[in-house]
């Protein structure tokens, strides 16, 4: 299904759609307020953007520096060209450990690689330990938001789900009660897992350490109880120096949820005695995006989700309407690079209002890239897909005479045609909107009579 | 402006020319009242934005060439639309052989309100308009041309249109819950994403109605055409005027 079809479906439940819009607006508003508490906010964004530009311009060098230093620290570094290689590497490590049950803490990258179904197919139980992730996992759904994976669900729905899966009291919607039930359930899984998988927010080239940011502390719980830690990291997550973190940690949580700082920013540098840390550096289309000059800087993304919360389209169509691992504005400029045909409607799922660009903590020009992707999409669709209207328009607008004639034809048609014809069901403008009343003369005609 | 005042060319967007001649007239009369020597170059058509936003920027070379040639001989080009102005400034395809003219155009084209506040340097207009006015901030005017501060950015608040409106005697400015959310017009988006476009429009209208807007105004007739279309269909009691109409009326 295309984005417009999914969006129309989402909007059918108008009350829930309104709730979804207001819930995310609340997060957006919180971000607006907290960001204004920092006088140097705009300079921070500028700085973060500059640091990321530097990273992207020297990515190969920083990655090798990271590999050298991480290896020196006793971390085992792997490279994966694509999702298949990534998944295979994870499975191999699990098989070496004879591990059939892993705990995972939120990693959009493993979603992107579809790691869960792959491991399950090979007999490994995967438990997502972030509360929101666990909820959508119970429902066999992907996350609908990269920071708030279960934001599409209401308390009542979660209460029902937990009643079914965790045997909680029927009808009890108390968030503290439900969270406690999830804690007890997850604790068991934590104790049983020999291997823990996490994502990576930042990898530091200078020190070979990496940082995982979570609010629930579950990444730490999983990692410290397990024998082996596998960290999956997109190659664009590199920062040159540890001190750069000061810029990014201040931006990340404020942009994501309006918090001054994420609850747990855990640094991993070397394994405890007798344990192992593996890090998998994943490309999966990133170097291809790096090579596309107009779209390169989409790789600056730190996955805060602010562009989703601010997007008037996302708030009213939900994460699933995008049908891509990363939804919302940033997803709409990343996903076409992975599969242009599949995601061809996404660059058009925007009014180009530009709000995404202005909230982005690393100053990605998201709406301009949406515009550029539109130009790419139409190239692949060829001349046949171009509507007759578009072909006519390009002819009309370069010729004053053609414009004048078609303009007056149109105005006269609007005046003389019956409403039933103007507002027929195939006319998307007129389904729920009136057209303006057609004036008797155009401005051009008025001007000629009155001024020249 | 006096006898040797710079020449101002009026650029009236195609849909304003065809559907809202009164907005073109108000723009012209307003600029004349403010002392400008205004000409409407005949033969102008459209900036090509509908095509470009639909992904066919490469087909707008003819339209853009025609536009640059039509407006080449004037000191300023003034347009009662933030969106069309932004398109000319930022999204025209590069026209071979007209590089100099194209660059000059980018610097001399202004949206109407910014022309009044930034070029004519008019701080306030003496006039009266005793109505409750709700302002719809068009995204391209705001985030593209920076006609007002954005809620997303950490910057001192300002609004060029508000500055002019607020000085009019009797005008009550309506404070909205969401000061700068998109109305959902978005050009072809209005048709290709019809359901979303309508919902966004309804939400904007609800904000205005809740805060008792009597007249909804803005700098872009395209947003207003969309909002008015929805309001008319659902029989909402709301009046719609372009900023040029309010300013022109209040000065008479």
Using the beta-carbon criterion (under 8 Å), do B193 and A349 form an inter-chain contact? yes
Using the beta-carbon criterion (under 8 Å), do B63 and A394 form an inter-chain contact? yes
Chain A from 337 to 356: CB within 8 A of any B CB: 347-355
Residue carrying the six token digits 């990258």: A109
Using the beta-carbon criterion (under 8 Å), do A355 and B152 form an inter-chain contact? yes
Using the beta-carbon criterion (under 8 Å), do B51 and A393 form an inter-chain contact? yes
Whether residue B3 has pLDDT greater than 70: no
* Residue B198 with chain A: CB contacts under 8 Å: 431-433
Please state the rounded mean pLDDT for residues A62-91: 98
* Residue B186 with chain A: CB contacts under 8 Å: 350-353
Q: What is the mean pLDDT of chain A?
A: 93
Using the beta-carbon criterion (under 8 Å), do B150 and A358 form an inter-chain contact? yes
**What's the confidence (pLDDT) of residue B141?**
97
Using the beta-carbon criterion (under 8 Å), do B152 and A32 form an inter-chain contact? yes
Region label for A149, one of left (φ > 0), alpha (ψ between -120 and 50) or beta (otherwise): alpha
B158 in A contact zone (CB under 8 Å): no
**What's the confidence (pLDDT) of residue A399?**
74
Q: Which of A17, A358, A439 has its CB closest to that of B19?
A: A439
Whether residue A393 has pLDDT greater than 80: no
Q: Using N-to-C axis directions, what is the helix angle for B221-233 and B194-210, rounded to 10°?
A: 80
Mutation target vs B (from A46, A312, A358, A427; most B CBs, 10 A cutoff): A312
CA B37 to chain centre: 20
Confidence of residue A418 (pLDDT cuts 50, 70, 90): low
Q: Which of A210, A30, A204, A22 is nearest to A107 (CA)?
A: A210
CB-based contacts of A132: which residues, under 8 Å, 6+ apart?
A143, A148, A149, A150, A151
Whether residue A344 has pLDDT greater than 50: yes
Please state the rounded mean pLDDT for residues B106-131: 96
Please state the rounded mean pLDDT for residues A306-333: 97
**What's the confidence (pLDDT) of residue A33?**
97
A313 in B contact zone (CB under 8 Å): yes
Q: Which of A201, A207, A287 is nearest to A240 (CA)?
A: A207
**What's the confidence (pLDDT) of residue A395?**
67
Using the beta-carbon criterion (under 8 Å), do B186 and A386 form an inter-chain contact? no
Using the beta-carbon criterion (under 8 Å), do B150 and A397 form an inter-chain contact? no
**What's the confidence (pLDDT) of residue A144?**
97
A11 in B contact zone (CB under 8 Å): yes
Task: Dump the DSSP string for B11-62.
Answer: ---HHHHHH-HHHHHHHHHHHHHTT-EEE--TT----SHHHIIIIIGGGGHH
* Residue A439 with chain B: CB contacts under 8 Å: 19-22
* Model pLDDT for residues B178-207, shown as the tens digit of each residue: 999 999 999 989 999 999 999 999 999 999
Chain A from 413 to 452: CB within 8 A of any B CB: 428-429, 431-436, 438-439, 441-448, 451-452
> What is the 3 state secondary structure string of A133-188?
HHHHHHCCCCCCCCCCCCCCCCHHHHHHHHHHHHCCCCCCCCHHHHHHHHHHHHHH
Using the beta-carbon criterion (under 8 Å), do A403 and B45 form an inter-chain contact? yes
Mutation target vs A (from B45, B180, B207; most A CBs, 10 A cutoff): B45
Query: How much of chain A exceeds pLDDT 70, in percent?
Result: 93
B53 in A contact zone (CB under 8 Å): yes
Tell me A341's DSSP state.
Answer: T
Chain B from 66 to 105: CB within 8 A of any A CB: 66, 91
Confidence of residue B167 (pLDDT cuts 50, 70, 90): very high
In this structure, is the dihedral angle defined by the CA atoms of residues B12, B17, B20 and B25, taken in order, positive or negative? positive
ipTM: 0.96
Using the beta-carbon criterion (under 8 Å), do B65 and A36 form an inter-chain contact? no
CB B9 within 8 A of CB B40: yes
Q: Which run of H or of E encompasses A248? A: helix A245-257
Cα(A344)–Cα(A378) distance, integer angstroms: 9
The whole-angstrom distance between A340's CA and the closest CA on chain B is: 14
Q: Which two tokens stand for residue B34?
A: 């403010």
Confidence of residue A415 (pLDDT cuts 50, 70, 90): low
Cα(A340)–Cα(A356) distance, integer angstroms: 21
Query: How much of chain B exceeds pLDDT 90, in percent?
Result: 92
CB-based contacts of A213: which residues, under 8 Å, 6+ apart?
A201, A249, A252, A253, A262, A264, A265, A266
* C-alpha distance from residue A324 to each of A93, A316, A375 (Å): 28, 17, 20
B251 in A contact zone (CB under 8 Å): no
Which stretches does DSSP call E strand in chain B? 7-10, 37-39, 76-79, 109-111, 132-136, 172-173, 215-218, 239-242
* Model pLDDT for residues A363-389, shown as the tens digit of each residue: 999 999 999 999 999 998 866 566 656
Confidence of residue A406 (pLDDT cuts 50, 70, 90): confident
3-class SS shares of chain B: helix, strand, coil, % to 5:
50, 15, 35
* Model pLDDT for residues B200-226, shown as the tens digit of each residue: 999 999 999 999 999 999 999 999 999
Q: Name all domains of chain A by residue range, CATH numbers in brackets.
A: 1-34+296-380 (1.10.1060), 38-284 (3.40.50.10420), 385-450 (no CATH)
Please state the rounded mean pLDDT for residues B79-88: 97
Q: Name all domains of chain B by residue range, CATH numbers in brackets.
A: 7-119 (no CATH), 132-251 (3.40.50)
Q: Which of A311, A310, A305, A352 is nearest to A325 (CA)?
A: A305
Q: Which of A8, A353, A400 has its CB closest to that of B195?
A: A8
The whole-angstrom distance between A39's CA and the closest CA on chain B is: 8
- Range with the poorest average pLDDT among A87-101, A424-438, B161-175: A424-438
* Model pLDDT for residues B29-64, shown as the tens digit of each residue: 999 999 999 999 998 988 999 889 999 999 999 999
Confidence of residue B140 (pLDDT cuts 50, 70, 90): very high
B137 in A contact zone (CB under 8 Å): no
* CB atoms near residue A173 (< 10 Å): 16
* Residue A386 with chain B: CB contacts under 8 Å: 56
* Model pLDDT for residues A9-65, shown as the tens digit of each residue: 999 999 999 999 999 999 999 999 999 999 999 999 999 999 999 999 999 999 999
Using the beta-carbon criterion (under 8 Å), do B189 and A350 form an inter-chain contact? yes
B59 in A contact zone (CB under 8 Å): yes
Three-state secondary-structure class, residue A405? helix
Confidence of residue A401 (pLDDT cuts 50, 70, 90): confident
Chain A from 124 to 143: CB within 8 A of any B CB: none
* Residue B153 with chain A: CB contacts under 8 Å: 42, 358
Q: Which of B41, B37, B1 is nearest to B17 (CA)?
A: B41
CB A290 within 8 A of CB A301: no
Please state the rounded mean pLDDT for residues B135-144: 97
Whether residue B240 has pLDDT greater than 60: yes
CA dihedral B180, B183, B188, B190 (to 10 degrees): 160
B209 in A contact zone (CB under 8 Å): no
Whether the model pTM is above 0.90: yes
* Model pLDDT for residues A273-291, shown as the tens digit of each residue: 999 999 999 999 999 999 9
Tell me B169's DSSP state.
Answer: B
A410 in B contact zone (CB under 8 Å): yes
Using the beta-carbon criterion (under 8 Å), do B226 and A3 form an inter-chain contact? no
A74 in B contact zone (CB under 8 Å): no
Cα(A299)–Cα(A408) distance, integer angstroms: 48
**What's the confidence (pLDDT) of residue A413?**
65
Q: How many CB pairs under 8 A join A and B?
A: 207
Whether residue B1 has pLDDT greater than 50: no
Question: Beta strand A210-214 with A264-268: parallel, antiparallel or unpaired?
Answer: antiparallel
* Residue A8 with chain B: CB contacts under 8 Å: 194-196
Q: Which of A120, A167, A171, A151 is nearest to A16 (CA)?
A: A151
Cα(B56)–Cα(A394) distance, integer angstroms: 9
Three-state secondary-structure class, residue B148? strand
**What's the confidence (pLDDT) of residue B2?**
46
The whole-angstrom distance between A21's CA and the closest CA on chain B is: 10
* C-alpha distance from residue A68 to each of A58, A75, A232, A266 (Å): 16, 10, 17, 21
The whole-angstrom distance between A76's CA and the closest CA on chain B is: 42
Q: What is the mean pLDDT of chain B?
A: 95
- B63: nearest CA in chain A? A398
* Residue A318 with chain B: CB contacts under 8 Å: none
The Cα angle at residue A419 between residues A415 and A420, in degrees rounded to 5? 140
Please state the rounded mean pLDDT for residues B231-250: 96
**What's the confidence (pLDDT) of residue A396?**
66
Whether residue A390 has pLDDT greater than 90: no
Mutation target vs B (from A345, A423, A432, A452; most B CBs, 10 A cutoff): A432
Cα(B12)–Cα(A5) distance, integer angstroms: 35
Mutation target vs B (from A379, A397, A442; most B CBs, 10 A cutoff): A397
**What's the confidence (pLDDT) of residue B72?**
95
CB B220 within 8 A of CB B112: no
Q: Which two tokens stand for residue A302?
A: 């730190």
């Amino acid at each position: 299904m295309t984005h417009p079809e999914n969006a129309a479906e989402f909007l059918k439940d108008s009350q829930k759609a309104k709730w979804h819009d207001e819930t995310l607006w609340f997060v957006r508003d919180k971000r607006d307020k907290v960001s204004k508490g920092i006088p140097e906010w705009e300079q921070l964004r500028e700085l973060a953007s500059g640091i990321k530009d530097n990273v992207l311009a020297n990515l190969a060098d920083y990655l090798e520096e990271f590999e050298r230093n991480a290896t020196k620290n006793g971390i085992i570094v792997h490279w994966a060209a694509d999702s298949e290689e990534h998944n295979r590497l994870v499975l191999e490590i699990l098989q070496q450990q004879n591990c059939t049950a892993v705990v995972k803490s939120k990693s959009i990258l493993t979603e992107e690689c579809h790691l869960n179904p792959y491991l399950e197919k090979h007999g490994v139980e995967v438990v997502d330990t972030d509360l929101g992730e666990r909820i959508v996992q119970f429902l066999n759904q992907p996350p609908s938001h990269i920071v708030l994976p279960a934001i599409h669900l209401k308390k009542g729905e979660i209460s029902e789900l937990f009643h079914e899966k965790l045997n909680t009291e029927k009808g009890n919607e108390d968030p503290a009660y439900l969270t406690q039930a999830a804690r007890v359930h997850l604790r068991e899984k934590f104790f049983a897992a020999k291997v823990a998988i996490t994502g990576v927010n930042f990898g530091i080239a200078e020190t070979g350490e990496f940082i995982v940011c979570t609010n629930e502390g579950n990444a730490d719980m999983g990692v410290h109880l397990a024998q082996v830690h596998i960290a999956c990291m997109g190659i664009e997550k590199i920062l040159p120096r540890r001190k750069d973190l000061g810029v990014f940690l201040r931006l990340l949580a404020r942009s994501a949820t309006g918090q001054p700082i994420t609850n747990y920013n855990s640094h991993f540098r070397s394994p405890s005695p007798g344990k192992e840390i593996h890090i998998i550096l994943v490309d999966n289309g990133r170097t291809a995006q790096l090579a596309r000059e107009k779209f390169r800087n989409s790789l600056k993304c730190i996955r805060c989700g602010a562009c989703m919360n601010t997007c008037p389209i996302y708030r009213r169509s939900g994460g699933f309407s995008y049908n891509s691992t990363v939804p919302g504005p940033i997803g709409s400029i990343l996903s076409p690079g992975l599969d242009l045909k599949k995601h061809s409607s996404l660059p058009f799922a925007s009014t180009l209002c530009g709000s995404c660009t202005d909230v982005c903590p690393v100053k990605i020009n998201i709406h301009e890239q949406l515009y550029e992707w539109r130009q790419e999409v139409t190239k692949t669709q060829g001349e046949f897909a171009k509507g007759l209207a578009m072909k006519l328009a390009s002819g009309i607008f370069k010729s004053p005479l053609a414009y004048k004639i078609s303009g007056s034809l149109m105005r006269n048609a609007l005046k003389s045609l019956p409403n039933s014809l103007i507002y027929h069901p195939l006319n998307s403008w007129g389904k729920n909107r009136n057209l303006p009343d057609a004036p008797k003369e155009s401005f051009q005609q008025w001007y000629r009579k009155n001024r020249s | 402006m006096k006898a040797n005042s710079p020449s101002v060319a009026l650029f009236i967007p195609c849909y304003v020319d065809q559907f809202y001649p009164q907005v073109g007239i108000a723009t012209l009369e307003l600029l004349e009242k403010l002392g400008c020597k205004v000409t409407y170059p005949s033969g102008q058509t459209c900036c090509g934005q509908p095509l470009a936003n639909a992904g066919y920027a490469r087909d707008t070379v003819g339209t853009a060439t025609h536009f640059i040639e039509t407006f080449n001989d004037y000191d300023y080009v003034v347009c009662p639309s933030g969106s069309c102005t932004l398109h000319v400034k930022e999204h025209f395809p590069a026209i071979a052989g007209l590089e100099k003219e194209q660059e000059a155009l980018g610097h001399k084209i202004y949206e109407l309100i910014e022309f009044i506040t930034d070029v004519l340097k008019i701080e306030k207009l003496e006039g009266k308009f005793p109505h409750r006015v709700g302002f719809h901030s068009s995204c391209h005017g705001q985030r593209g041309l920076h006609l007002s501060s954005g809620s997303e950015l950490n910057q001192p608040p300002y609004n060029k249109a508000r500055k002019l409106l607020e000085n009019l005697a009797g005008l009550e400015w309506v404070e909205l819950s969401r000061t700068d959310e998109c109305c959902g017009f978005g050009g072809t988006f209005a048709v290709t994403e019809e359901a979303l476009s309508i919902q966004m429009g309804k939400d904007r209208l609800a904000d205005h109605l809740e805060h008792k807007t009597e007249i909804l105004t803005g700098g872009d007739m395209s947003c207003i055409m969309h909002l008015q279309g929805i309001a008319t269909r659902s029989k909402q009691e709301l009046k719609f005027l372009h900023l040029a109409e309010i300013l022109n009326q209040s000065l008479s």
